[in-house]
Homo-oligomer: A and B are copies of this chain.
């Protein structure tokens, strides 16, 4: 979920997207320019123009790459149980600071998401990602119910609630709050899950 994906770009296109990500994370979208991206790019700046028309096109390509990665990494059932899977998801969102670039990564995504009302291509990307995360969360809950690990509930509705909570908590974390101030949130989410979802 951190931007390691850009540590070892496989071709010129990925090198350009890596440079775009670093510039976005440093300056934010509002202050981004092809010139600044060029400073992060080890080859000739003219190559950037060869592949992309402008800062918006480049940002969309970078966003698509980031979200594809996020989806692949976060919709892989890795817990030993449905409960563990759900808890891992929440621990990540409201979890301990790891100083692994996560907050920068989140902040970059949220700035682009907040531009959605002015950019239909951004909007489409985030809609797709929300849908995939929600479907995956509902799948985990359904698995728990079928395995008699979870209580009977509406998996889609609970998934939407949990994902909205994660969006709110990680938006706060990226913009105004330290991880410390968010720990009561994780406890309260646990209160809810214990009564709504987890058995025993």
Contact = CB atoms under 8 A, between A and B. Distances in A.
A152 interface: no
A156 B188 CA distance: 11
A172 B167 CA distance: 8
Copies of this chain, complex-wide, total: 2
Interface stretch (A24-32, A72-80, A82-90): A24-32
Contacts of A29: 30
Nearest to A186: B161
Interface of A: 27-31, 103-104, 107, 110-111, 113-118, 123, 126-127, 130, 154, 156-158, 160-161, 164-169, 171-172, 174-177, 184-185, 187-189, 191-192, 195-196
19 contacts: A28-B117, A30-B30, A111-B115, A111-B117, A113-B176, A114-B115, A114-B174, A117-B174, A123-B175, A127-B177, A130-B172, A130-B176, A157-B184, A157-B187, A160-B184, A161-B165, A161-B184, A167-B168, A168-B169
